[in-house]
């Protein structure tokens, strides 16, 4: 997935500058690094570093403490059901807002190249999908909440569409970055990592849909749909967090 021309990445605030041994500019480099670290762009990028681990933490705690809920079988969105559903709903919306902030930060540092337009947009779509998935709660199913019967509603349909867009945009964002930085020595290893992550997100999301259908029809029950979904989402969130941390440290930015 390489490209002939190397994309250039820029920033509105002055990023840290690499200096060679013997170069008499260390003070300037430190000053630029401190200036970038306290900038609005740095804080926007921090949204991408903080949001994923906080969301994962909420999912893990809620999934382990909910009576009748199985992380092996049930979807993350099903944590929005029941008396404690407000916790997961709040987490989805809050993470969505942080993702929008991260998208804004990406738009400030990726100013040219193939990913300069689509990477921030895809992360923004991801954030909006999280918010919509939080507002439009999913329907009961696969025995959760305990004692409930499977049902289908308009808000459940909206939630399903939001989930499809959510995983699709996250996968696409990984692939776009992989193409954008291919061949750039400042991003050594990131092109392959991003492409592999994008494929993992997509493949495991599709597998989640297949096993869920098998479970609903009694062919494979209980199916590991919850586990597969977590592999898909958590892989993409780890990529997002690492990308944010890398950019916050000024790595890969134009010199």
Cβ neighbors of 198 (< 8 A, separation 6 or more) are 171, 172, 173, 174, 175, 178, 236
Residue 79, pLDDT above cutoff 60: yes
- pTM here is 0.86
CA–CA distances in Å: residue 118 to residues 104, 172, 176, 249: 12, 9, 7, 22
For residue 225, give every residue at least 6 positions away whose Cβ sits within 8 Å of its Cβ, in sequence order, or none.
Answer: 73, 74, 75, 142, 208, 211, 212, 215
What is the tens place of the pLDDT at every residue in 141-185?
999 999 999 999 999 999 999 999 999 999 999 999 999 999 899
Distance CA 204, CA 88 (A): 22
Residue 253 has pLDDT above 70, yes or no: no
Compare 34 and 27 and report the one with higher pLDDT: 34
Q: Is the pLDDT of residue 73 over 70?
A: yes
pLDDT value, residue 16: 44
């Amino acid at each position: 997935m390489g490209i002939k021309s190397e994309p250039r990445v820029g920033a509105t605030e002055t990023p840290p500058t690499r200096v060679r041994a013997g170069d008499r500019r260390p003070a300037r480099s430190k000053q630029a690094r401190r200036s970038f670290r306290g900038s609005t762009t740095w804080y926007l990028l921090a949204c991408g570093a903080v949001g994923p681990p906080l969301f994962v933490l909420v999912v893990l705690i809620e999934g382990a403490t909910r009576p009748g809920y199985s992380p092996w079988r049930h979807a993350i969105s099903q944590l929005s059901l029941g008396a404690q559903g407000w916790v997961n709903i709040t987490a989805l919306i809050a993470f969505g807002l942080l993702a929008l902030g991260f998208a804004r930060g990406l738009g400030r540092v990726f100013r040219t190249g193939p990913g300069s337009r689509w990477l921030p947009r895809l992360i923004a779509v991801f954030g909006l999908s999280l918010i919509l998935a939080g507002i439009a709660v999913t329907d009961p199913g696969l025995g959760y909440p305990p004692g409930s019967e499977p049902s289908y509603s308009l808000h459940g349909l909206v939630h399903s569409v939001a989930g499809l867009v959510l995983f699709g945009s996250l996968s696409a964002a990984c692939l776009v970055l992989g193409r954008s930085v291919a061949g750039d020595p400042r991003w050594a290893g990131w092109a392959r990592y991003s492409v592999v992550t994008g494929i993992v997100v997509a493949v495991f999301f599709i597998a989640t849909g297949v096993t869920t259908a098998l479970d609903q029809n009694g062919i494979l029950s209980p199916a590991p749909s919850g586990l597969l979904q977590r592999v898909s989402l958590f892989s993409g969130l780890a990529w997002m967090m690492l990308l944010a941390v890398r950019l916050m440290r000024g790595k890969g930015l134009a010199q």
